Amino acid sequence: MTIVLFAAGAERWQEYEAPLRAALAEAGVAADLVQGAPPETVDFIVYAPGSPLQDFTPYGHCKAVLNLWAGVERIVGNATLTQPLCRMVDPGLSEGMTEYVLGHVVRHHLGMDRYILGAPGWEQTVPPLARERRVGMLGLGALGLTCIRALQGLNFDVAGWSRTAKPGLDFPAFHGEAGLEAVLSRSEIVVTLLPRTAETENLLDARRLGWLPHGAVIINPGRGALIDDAALLVALGAGRIGHATLDVFRVEPLPHDHPFRHHPKVTVTPHIAANTRATTAARVVAENVRRALAGEPLLYLVDRARGY
C-alpha cells in the first residue's frame, strides 16, 4: 500500500480529503491517504507552504513532494528537501487567472472606473479598439501563455517577455534586459506573471517603471515582490503610472495602514486571482503519484537552480 502523507495544513484536510481519495482511485493507485505516519513509511508528501512540516530529513523513502500551490519560493530553498519537488499546474487555477487578467485588462482598456465610480458630466471618451491597445505580458510560462491566448482572442496587441528565449511563438516575444525594455516601452497595460526568484525580485524598480509609457497601467497577480513598492508609489504620485491593480503583496493580508490600501490609483484585491481548486488539483497530484510508481517522468518538476 502506497502511503501519501497530507502535510498541507489541517485546515485544508476537509477540503482535499475526498477529492484526493477519489482522484487516486481513479488513477488506479492503491494508496492510504493519511495526516500522520512514521516518516520512514511515507511514499509521497502532499504539501503547501506554511505547513508544520519543515524538516524533510526523516522522509528518506519519500519519492516526491507534491506542492498544492503554483509558487514554490517558500519551500524550494529548504536545505532538508532533497526529494523531487513538483509545483502545481492546475487547470482550474489557469482558468481563474485568465478570467482575472482578462477582466482587469478590459476594465482598464475601456476606462470603466470613471463610469463605475460616477464621473460627473457627459464626457464621451471613446476608447480605442482592442487591436489598438498594446498589452505586455511579463512571464511566458503556462499561466502567461494561457492569458495571452485569451487576450489575442479579443484582438489585443500583445507582446511578451521571459528571462530566457521562447522561440516559435506567434506574437512578439522578448527576453533579457534589452527585451524587457522593448516590451515595457510599448505596453500601455502590463501584466506580471513571473515566479519570485532572486532574478525577478524588484524586477519593476524605479528605472524600469520609467520605461513604461506615461500613464500606463500595471496589473500584478503574480508575486508581490516583483514590484518595488516604494518606486511604484512614487511613479503613481507623479502620474507616470496611471493605475496599479494588485492582487499579491510582500505581506499578506496587506496591512490596513499600507499606502496601497488608501491610494486613489491603486486597486487592491485579496489574493483571489487564482486559487488551487481541490477537485482539479487532486487529479494533478494523483497523476504524479501514478507516474512516480510507474517510473515515468513527473509533471511540473521544479528546477532547483532556477527556483521554479
Residues 260 and 280 in one domain: no
State the pLDDT confidence band at 304, using cuts at 50, 70 and 90.
Answer: confident
Other residues' Cβ atoms within 10 Å of the Cβ of residue 140: 23
Residues 252 and 122 in one domain: yes
Q: In the predicted model, is pLDDT for residue 119 greater than 80? A: no
Nearest by Cα to 172 from 192, 191, 147, 148:
148
Give the domain range for residue 26: 2-90+276-294
What is the average pLDDT across 255-279? 94
Predicted confidence band at 5 (pLDDT cuts at 50, 70, 90)? very high
Q: How confident is the model at residue 4 (pLDDT cuts 50, 70, 90)?
A: very high
Domain count, the chain: 2
Please check whether residues 35 and 118 belong to one and the same domain: no
Tell me: do 145 and 262 sit in the same domain. Answer: yes
Task: Read off the CATH number of the domain in which 256 is found.
Answer: 3.40.50.720
Helix/strand/coil for 28? coil
Same-domain status, 210 and 238: yes
Per the domain annotation, does 307 fall within a domain? no
The three cell numbers of residue 218 are 500595471
Residue 274 pLDDT class (50, 70, 90 cuts): confident
**Has residue 71 got a pLDDT over 90?**
no
Q: What is the pTM of this model?
A: 0.84
| Same-domain pairing of 23 and 68 | yes
Cα separation, 306 vs 43, whole angstroms: 26
For 207, 241, 250, the CA distances from 258, given in Å and listed in that order, are 23, 19, 11
The verdict on 121 and 216 lying in the same domain is yes
Region 136-147 average pLDDT: 95
- Does 301 fall in a domain? no
Nearest partner of 187 among 237, 261, 242, 232, judged by Cα: 242
Same domain, 95 and 82: no
Higher pLDDT, 62 or 121: 62
Catalytic residue among 21, 258, 263, 271: 271
What pLDDT is attached to residue 78?
Answer: 95
Mean pLDDT within 76-102: 93
| 68: in domain | yes
User: Do residue 247 and residue 281 come from a single domain?
Assistant: no
> Phi-psi bin for 251: left (phi > 0), alpha (psi -120 to 50), beta?
beta
Q: Each residue of 181-201: pLDDT tens digit? A: 999 999 999 999 999 988 999
Task: Find all residues with CB under 8 Å of 16, minimum gap 6, and list them.
Answer: 6, 8, 46, 68, 278, 281, 282
114 Rama class: left (phi>0) / alpha (psi -120 to 50) / beta = alpha
Over the chain, what is the mean pLDDT? 95
Does residue 304 lie in a domain region?
no
* Same structural domain, 42 and 116: no
Nearest to 218 by CA among 155, 252, 229, 196: 229
- Residue 302, domain member (yes or no): no
> Residue 292: left if φ>0, alpha if ψ -120 to 50, beta else—which one?
alpha
In this structure, of 70-74, 204-208, 235-239, 258-262, the range with the lowest mean pLDDT score is 70-74
Strand boundaries in 71-155, DSSP class E: 85-86, 134-138
| Residue whose C-alpha is closest to residue 111's, from 131, 121, 129, 125 | 125
The reply to whether 61 belongs to the active site is: no
Separation between Cα atoms, residue 194 and residue 258, nearest integer Å: 23
Check residue 125 and give its pLDDT: 83
pLDDT in tens, 222-259: 999 999 999 999 999 999 999 999 999 999 999 999 99
One domain, residues 82 and 183: no
115 band by pLDDT with thresholds 50, 70 and 90:
confident
Instruction: Give dist(CA 241, CA 16) in Å, integer.
Output: 41
Is pLDDT at 173 greater than 90 in this prediction?
yes
Write the DSSP symbol of residue 218: E
User: Does the annotation mark 109 as catalytic?
Assistant: no
Query: Among 257, 163, 155, 247, which Cα is nearest to 203's?
Result: 163
Same domain, 58 and 205: no
Share of the chain above pLDDT 90, in %: 86
Amino acid at 96: G
Catalytic residue among 223, 243, 283, 290: 223
Let me know if residue 303 belongs to a domain: no
Residues 293, 50: Cα–Cα separation, whole Å: 27
- Of 32, 44, 58, the C-alpha closest to 7 is 44
| Coil vs helix vs strand at 243 | strand
